């Protein structure tokens, strides 16, 4: 059979497309390029640590040369762990009730959650009042005092003074936290996170049979 006359053209096109793809992935892989208000390209990526690499079959494999887990905790390790804790906390509505230092308030929260569907309006109003109380502010103030990195704690206190916690709802609290984290990111010359993606990044806990996912969402992210 005669050779397809378009074959050489298709071949060239394929080569060109591969080349563009390679350049694009290299570009996206570069973090912390100083640009005005850059955003994180893949907000759902769980770890940007250079010690972890992804193999072809998508298994995570640690590089053997340096085992960072036995080294001293750095400011960055502490920060990553704390942000992970805080964003997950903000995403888990039920867990927020335990932020209350007083048992009575936590019980009141559970009561509100158990209000029947036919009283949705009432439930919403009561939840808003509950969230708007001073607990999240108190919790953040305690954190800013006991955070085990002095420089970061002082920085955080300053940020809290100009951005008092907003927690009229679980969504508002998550967005406030995202905004505050971005304020820290900017001051460190890091990428700015797109806050509309905060639920995709932090809304779900990955664990066997969802036993630890208190939010109980069935959304696929
Ligand atoms: C309260 C606080 C104050 C800090 N202050 C300082 C300081 O003054 N000086 C200093 O050097 N370090 C400070 N740090 C540490 C710093 O913020 C980082 O945690 C650290 O530099 C490691 O950064 P990272 O790039 O690995 O990602 P991190 O900033 O730790 O973020 C972890 C992950 O969260 C996601 N993420 C990023 N931004 C957002 C966002 N806005 N909303 C939701 N998710 C997001 C990304 O997926 C990212 O991989 C502070 C940390 C905390 C918790």
pLDDT tens profile 118-171: 777 777 777 766 666 656 777 788 899 999 999 999 999 999 999 988 877 778
> Which residue has tokens 């973090």?
31
* Cα 97 → chain centroid: 20
| Ligand 1 nearest atom to the CA of residue 178, by list position | 42
**Residue 183 reports pLDDT greater than 80:** yes
Average pLDDT on 206-218 reads 56
Q: Cα(171)–Cα(198) distance, rounded to whole angstroms?
A: 10
Tell me the range of 50-59, 103-112, 206-215 where mean pLDDT is highest: 103-112
Q: Which two tokens stand for residue 189?
A: 């010359």
- Report the pLDDT value the prediction gives residue 67, as an integer from 0 to 100: 60
Q: Residue 149 is inside which H or E element, if any? A: none
Query: Which helix or strand (DSSP H or E) is residue 52 part of?
Result: strand 52-54
The pLDDT > 90 percentage for the chain reads 29
The residue whose C-alpha atom lies closest to atom 42 belonging to ligand 1 is: 178
Global pTM value? 0.66
| Distance from the alpha carbon of residue 28 to the mean position of ligand 1, in angstroms | 20
State the closest ligand 1 atom to the C-alpha of 147, by its place in the atom list counted from 1.
1
**Mutation test of ligand 1: which of 43, 80, 85, 165 has the most ligand atoms closer than 8 Å to its C-beta?**
80
Please name the residue whose Cα sits nearest to atom 17 of ligand 1.
Answer: 79
Half-sphere exposure of 137 (CA within 13 A, CB side): 13
- Interface confidence, given as ipTM, is 0.99
Residues with C-beta less than 6 Å from any ligand 1 atom: 43, 48, 75-76, 79-80, 82-83, 87, 151-152, 155-156, 178, 181-182, 184-185, 188, 190, 193, 198, 201
Strand partners, 192: 39
Q: What is the pLDDT of residue 218?
A: 32
Give me the pLDDT at residue 110, please: 75
pLDDT at 113: 77
Burial string for 70-94 (b: 16+ CB within 10 Å, else e) reads: eeeeeeeeebeebbeebbbbbbbbe
Ligand 1: which residue has its CA nearest to atom 43? 178
Mean of all residue pLDDT scores within the chain:
70
Tell me the CA–centroid distance for residue 89 and ligand 1, in Å.
Answer: 15
Mean pLDDT of 1-25: 51
d(CA 136, CA 107): 17
Q: What is the pLDDT of residues 136-147, one digit of tens each?
A: 777 788 899 999
The predicted structure's pLDDT at residue 4: 62
Ligand 1 centroid from CA 210, angstroms? 27
């Amino acid at each position: 059979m005669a050779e397809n006359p378009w074959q050489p053209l298709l071949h060239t096109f394929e080569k060109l497309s591969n080349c563009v793809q390679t350049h694009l992935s290299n570009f996206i892989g570069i973090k912390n390029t100083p640009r005005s208000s850059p955003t994180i390209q893949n907000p759902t990526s769980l770890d940007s640590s250079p010690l972890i690499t992804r193999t072809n079959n998508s298994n995570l494999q640690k590089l053997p040369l340096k085992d960072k887990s036995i080294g001293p905790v750095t400011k960055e390790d502490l920060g990553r762990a704390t942000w992970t804790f805080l964003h997950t906390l903000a995403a888990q509505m039920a867990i927020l009730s335990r932020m209350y230092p007083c048992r009575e308030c936590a019980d009141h929260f559970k009561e509100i959650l158990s209000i029947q569907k036919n009283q949705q309006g009432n439930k919403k109003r009561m939840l808003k009042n509950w969230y708007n109380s001073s607990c999240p502010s108190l919790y953040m103030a305690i954190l800013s005092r006991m955070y085990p990195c002095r420089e970061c704690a002082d920085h955080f206190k300053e940020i809290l003074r100009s951005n008092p916690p907003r927690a009229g709802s679980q969504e508002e609290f998550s967005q406030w936290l995202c905004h505050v984290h971005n304020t820290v990111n900017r001051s460190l010359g890091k990428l700015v996170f797109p806050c509309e993606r905060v639920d995709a990044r932090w809304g779900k806990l990955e664990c066997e049979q969802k036993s630890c996912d208190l939010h109980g969402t069935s959304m696929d992210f």
